[in-house]
Structures are given as C-alpha cells and as structure tokens.
Chains A and B, each alone.
Chain A
Amino acid sequence: MLDKKITFTLNGKKVEFIGDPLRRLIDTLREDFGLTGVKEGCGEGECGACSVIKDGKLVTSCIIPMGAVYGADIWTIEGIRDTELGSTIVEAFADGGAVQCGFCIPGMVLASYVLLKEKSDPSEEEIRQAISGNICRCTGYDLIVKSIRLADERRRGV
C-alpha cells in the first residue's frame, strides 16, 4: 500500500500532511504550520536546536522523515510554552538569565520539560545529562542548569 497522506497530532490538534514522506519534519513544522520556534542548527540531529517532543520523547526534527511521524503525538515549543510546567520553565529561564542569543532555548526548554515531567528534584548531573543533546554557544550552560533547577523548585513550591 502506498501512502502519501500522513495524519498526526500537533500540539494537541489532529493535522494532516500530504506530500513527500521523506520531507523533514522540521521543514513541515516551520513552513507548512508556521511553527518557527523549531530552529535549524546543524541539520544532522546533533545540536538539538530543532528538538520537538514525539510521543513523549525528545527527538531532533531535522532528521525525522515525515513518514516516521504517522500517527505520532508531536509537541513543539509553541504548544508547550503555555502549559503549567512549560510556562514555569520559560519564566525561570527569563528570571535566571539563561537566555543570551536565544537560538537554542526552544530546544533547551523542551529538554527541560521532558526531564521535569519524568523527574522531580533532579540532580545537577541529571540536568546536564538531559540537556547534553542541546548545544549552546553563548551561555556556558551554567545559568541554564540553574534555571532548570529554579523551575523545578518553583513547581514544587520550594
């Protein structure tokens, strides 16, 4: 069976894609759905700027063919930022001075979201491990790590 129509859930809404199943997910998100919070960095899955959440897992959308998205549940920064945990992380990043140029931040927020969804009170090593696939060329990571800890403390009411 040949299949050119790919249906999936995007930020909580059912959507449909008709086209090249080898088109990159990042291109579809940015160009077809206007979700420009998804950034392209290396283009080969190593820098994490294009991170999205697929079926609860953090993945890099620049190497995912649309064919692999069939039936998946995809979340981008645009869908996450207004959730309770997402907005807590975004505010903590702003208050903690985690953002300089901002290019890596959507991926960093999503990596933080996946970590904090799964774990309460993560250690510094666990935080650094969780964002190890997201490369930042500005901050030196320390303020990002502190901001993730701040977000965790705030959501726990510490």
Chain B
Amino acid sequence: MRELIRVNSLEEALGKKGAYLAGGTEILRLDSPLDKAISVIDILPFLSKEVEDEGDWIRIGAGCTFSSLLSSALIPSFLKEALSYMSSPELREMATIGGNIASFRDDSFLIPTLASAYARLEVLLPGGKECIPLSSFKRDGGIILSITVSKTADVKNFRESLTSHSHAVVTAAFSSECECYAVKGSGIFFDHDSLSFASDMYGSAEYKRYLSELYRSESGRS
C-alpha cells in the first residue's frame, strides 16, 4: 500500500522520499509522473498562503490557490490572465501556484508568464534556502516557498488549446527582456534558440513551430 507521510516541518519533508502533496490536483492526474509515487508527503500546511506587496514586486506564497490569487487586488492583470487559463473553478480552488510550477508541465498555465515577469523562486534545499530565477528551477529541485514577480513587467500572454478545458498546444509569454514557451510534447523553453518541437496527438511539430513563431511575431519580436 502507498503511504501518506505527515511531517512536522518542510525541512523534515526534504529528508523523505516521495511526491509532495500541495493542492492535490496533479497527484492523480492522468499521465502525471506522480501517479505511481509510493509515498506522498503532505506539505500544504507549511506553505505560505500570503501575498505581500514589495513595491514594484509582489511575493506570492507557494500555497496560494489560483482562486485566491484571482481575487487578490495585488495580482497584476497579466498574471490573472494566465491564472484564468485554468478554466475550471473547481480546479482553481485546489491548485496552488507552487504546485503548478513544481509540476513543470509542458502545458504549464503559469511558467511562461511568471518567467516573463522576471520571477524568482525562494526554494528550500537540503543546504538551506536559496533564491533562484525561475528559469533555473528543475523538477525535484527542492520545495518552492515563494515566488517574487515584477508587478510592472509588460507581459504579453498567448495560449492555444482546442477548448478552454483542453491541454494547451503552446503557451507563451513575452516581456521586453524575457520570453518563455511551454510546448506540449517538448517541454519548457526559456529562450527562442533552444525551442524544439515534436509531433503528437495535440498537433504536428510544424503546427507548434508555426504557433510559437506567430506569437513571437505578435509580441513585437522579429
């Protein structure tokens, strides 16, 4: 039988082997890499659910749900647009921003937008806390504690999916200095040069390349 591990602190959770449970929407999702995890470690009680105003930046606790962020006056409109990509209100009540980043899905709702808003993550690692750019984060790279995002970034979001409830083929976001793409079947890319495309049931490689180039062009980049 699989096990639920309850811990007394995030530091204790770091020392355990298993999948982290936050909002819980990824742990049983079809095709989720977490689906076969033998042990699940409940970390939600220890994650911050606060949003703090830090001038031109906001610090978002990793335990904030999509719905709580959508109702917060501190969240900039470009991030609310990305949060609303998760179209089901039921899912938005459960899913956390930290969990969405940590799952590092190739149809990520938030990573392109956050990366284009110069997001930095405060991550708990065995050696202590570190602050890293979102582009440096890797799945299984510690426990995300908070996300700091520019409020003033001029972010343009793009997303293509068959329906509002479907997995996205391409999600992309652009600001004056950053661009980020989540390409279904290929991965997440933090620059244009590293983009790669693979054909799958969501679309051909050519289709995904076309969408990525179209979005880049519409964002004002050549």
> Contact residues of A with B, CB < 8 Å?
1-4, 6, 19-22, 24, 43-48, 51, 57-60, 62-68, 70, 111, 129-130, 132-133, 135
Contact = CB atoms under 8 A, between A and B. Distances in A.
Contacts of A129: 89
B28 A24 contact: yes
A158 B37 CA distance: 53
Interface residues of B, number: 27
B111 to A, nearest CB: 19
Contact of B90 (A2, A21, A58): A58
Nearest to B166: A46
B1 A45 contact: no
Nearest to A129: B89
Contacts, number: 96
Interface stretch (B19-27, B73-81, B113-121, B209-217): B19-27
What is the interface of chain A mostly: helix, strand, loop, or mixed? Answer: loop
Contacts of A51: 90
Interface in B40-69: 40, 42, 44, 67
B87 interface: yes
B195 interface: no
B5 interface: yes
Contact of B94 (A44, A47, A59, A111): A59
